[in-house]
Amino acid sequence: DPGDVVQGALALHRAGKTVEARTLLEERIAEMPDDTGAHLAYIDLRIGLGERERVRKEYEELGLKDPSNPAVRLARVVLLGRSYSKQEAFRALLAEEPGFARAWEEYGRFLLESYRIGEAEEAIGRAIALSPERPEGHLYLGLVRRARGAPDEEASLRRAFELDPETPNLRLELATTLAFGGKLEEAELILEELRLESPDDPEPILILAIVNERLGRAAESKRLRELLLAKDPDLPGKLLYVGLQHAALTDKTLSKRFLELAVFVDSTEAEPFVQLGLVYRWEKKSDLAIHYYTMALERNAENQLAWRNMGMAYREKGNVAKAEELLRKAVEIDPDYLLGWVDFARILQEVGKYDEAIPAWKRVLAMAPYGWEGLEARRCLPYLERGEPVPEVQTPAWTMEEMKVKTKAKREAGHQGAGENR
């Protein structure tokens, strides 16, 4: 079975027998040049060895020798680095080979990694329809559903596990879903098996620490966390970084998960608490945001970001006096904190303290004369200097339909003008 050859090679690679795995895949490709699974496993192995550029050139040459081989064409697309050219190459391949299930699967994986969730789900759905027995399609669908916060994440991962109960990554993803879904004993069984197979892999240990914490085994959870930090002292920072990446993509579900993991592994640093507060502010959960900012300030009382954002959370709750107090503290701690001064100036003018708002806006103007902050300062200062409240910026209250009509009218007017000019 071709799949057994590829799985055997992957098992050798996981066991550290990379040379043997590579030889097995090379022999398989020589014997069956159109084995897509062997080609993709081979390039993954070579990329893991830091040979992406070398293997890319090899496949460029292979593509010239065998241009009609769809497995080689797909491997060449997967090896492309630039997002736009890669997307176009996938589309071109799929236009010619619409029944190529593995190409749809790899395209869905690429879209998932690019965080284009809707498109990824469609592509992976096509792959599953064409090849319903491939576990990877169900795995990727589960990860798409996780990114959407959909309840059927577990069902997809269970189906993948039924089709392939051996691959460690797939088992880890299912265990993670079970752990966060409250199915702790089932998650624990999978994680303990993974630990026995790969004692140095930190991911099963991390999820197992969470499971132990939630099962009330605080001492074992603490021991596992200490083991993690001994293996990788930078782990909390890495988790924080991934959480921030998801926050930048406005993926609040996974952002919170990774930030909470960072706090769980090491609760001594302020930054993950600040970032959790920001996520809850985006969700308009001001009380939770204030809770996390308070915890951040218990760890670092000089964190101006926490003071400022806690002030804005109180502002959102309607407590303007408390907001003013906290924003004042933020700019006292860091007199060069531009956004702190912007929010402080706004709150001062809101409560009618024009004599303090004027120097605050002048400070903003001096710090960012050409940015949006400076533009806002220029708009507000003349009113405040005359002792007048600053009027709100008036925006047209158009409906979407009215905007479409206006846009269409402008476009038609433009075309008529162009005709007259001709």
User: Euclidean distance between the first and final Cα of the chain, in Å?
Assistant: 69
Q: Where does the pLDDT of residue 403 fall: very low under 50, low under 70, confident under 90, or very high at 90 and above?
A: low
Q: Is the pLDDT of residue 317 over 60?
A: yes
pLDDT for 2 equals 54
Q: Is the pLDDT of residue 413 over 80?
A: no
- The number of residues making up the chain comes to 422
Residue 100, SS3 per DSSP: coil
Residues 124-134, mean pLDDT to the nearest whole number: 96
Residues 337-348, mean pLDDT to the nearest whole number: 96
Contacts of 153 (CB under 8 A, 6+ apart): 142, 145, 146, 177
Q: Is the pLDDT of residue 398 over 60?
A: no
Q: Where does the pLDDT of residue 419 fall: very low under 50, low under 70, confident under 90, or very high at 90 and above?
A: very low
Residue entry with tokens 């879904």: 181
Contacts of 20 (CB under 8 A, 6+ apart): 12
Burial of residue 395 (number of CB atoms within 10 Å: 0-12, 13-18, 19+): exposed
Q: Is the pLDDT of residue 410 over 70?
A: no
Per-residue model confidence as pLDDT tens digits over 56-72? 999 999 999 988 899 99
Residue entry with tokens 């132990």: 212
**Helix intervals (H) in 97-134:** 101-113, 117-130
pLDDT for 397 equals 58
| Spatial separation of the C-alpha atoms in residues 208 and 199, rounded to whole Å | 12
Contacts of 278 (CB under 8 A, 6+ apart): 247, 289, 309
DSSP 316-361: HTT-HHHHHHHHHHHHHH-TT-HHHHHHHHHHHHHTT-HHHHHHHH
Q: Where does the pLDDT of residue 49 fall: very low under 50, low under 70, confident under 90, or very high at 90 and above?
A: confident
Per-residue model confidence as pLDDT tens digits over 226-272? 999 998 899 999 888 888 888 777 677 788 888 999 999 988 999 99
Q: Compute the mean pLDDT over every residue in the chain, rounded to the nearest whole number.
A: 89
Closest CA to 9 of 51, 31, 37: 37
